[in-house]
Structure 1
Amino acid sequence: MEETVNKLVNAGRRAANNNTVISVCLVGSFIALGARSMKQQNKIEALEAEKDSVIKSNKATKQTLWDWKQQLYAEAGSDSALVPLARIKAIYGDATTPPIAAKEDPKSASFVV
């Protein structure tokens, strides 16, 4: 058993000192890293294409929402509207509303106006 271990250790030492073995290991490592890099590059390109698609979709959705909002405003501005235009604008936060009057501070006896 001990002889087998010694033979393996000696073979390992010879291989470590052999430039051919070292070169083969380095070339193998380079090939493995190159393959991994190509795989990552392909994944990056696919993600960039997906990103462009999502950006276009988001822009189209925003435009559709804008168009619907403008149509809703136009319909609410008519005489037969169920909900008045001012209420619709308040819902969307587009209305200019006066500031809410300050309430009494329970800790003090004075009123803030």
Structure 2
Amino acid sequence: MEQAANLLQRAANSNAVINTLLAGIFAVLSVRSVEQQRQIEALEAEKDSLVKANKGLKKTVWDWKQQLFYEAEANPQNAVVPLSTLKVIYGEATPAAPVIAGGAGKGDGKSPASKIMI
């Protein structure tokens, strides 16, 4: 037991052992860093691909929206969705305020509580 303690004491004081441990730790950290760099490059490539796909989808949605507006404006009688409704859906117009029956006669100056439906 005493010999093992002496051996450990000499190893702790030996520069060669300390340098070897430090070199091993450096090698492990280097390998980990290389692996992380590969992961970063893969994620950046995936990001670029997703950005391109997202731009394509945005253009497609824009084209569909323009087509809907064109069809609703060109032939209002046969439009699936009226132009005014399309503008409200896409946020280009504010919806008309609904008329509340019996609310105007109270005259208390308070607006009725809005109901949120989900």
TM-score by length of 1: 0.79
Unaligned runs of 5+ in 2: 112-118
| Alignment coverage as a number of residue pairs | 105
Give the Cα–Cα distance (whole angstroms) in 2 for the partners of residues 77 and 12 of structure 1. Answer: 88
- Deviating above 4 A after TM superposition, structure 1's stretches of 4 or more consecutive aligned residues are none
Q: Residue deviations 1:14-61, cap 9 Å, x none? A: 111111111111111111111111111111111111111111111111
Scaled by the length of structure 2, what TM-score is found?
0.76
More helix by proportion, 1 or 2? 1
Secondary structure in structure 1 of the residue aligned to 2:28: helix
Which consecutive residues of structure 1, in runs of 5 or more, have no partner in the other structure?
Answer: none
CA RMSD of aligned residues (A): 2.4
Q: Which residue of structure 2 aligns with residue 86 of structure 1? A: 84
Q: Quick one: structure 1 residues 51 and 26, their matched pair in 2 at CA, closer, same or farther if it must change by over 3 Å?
A: same
Alignment of 1:1-113 (within 5 A): 5-79=1-75, 80-97=78-95, 100=97, 110-111=108-109
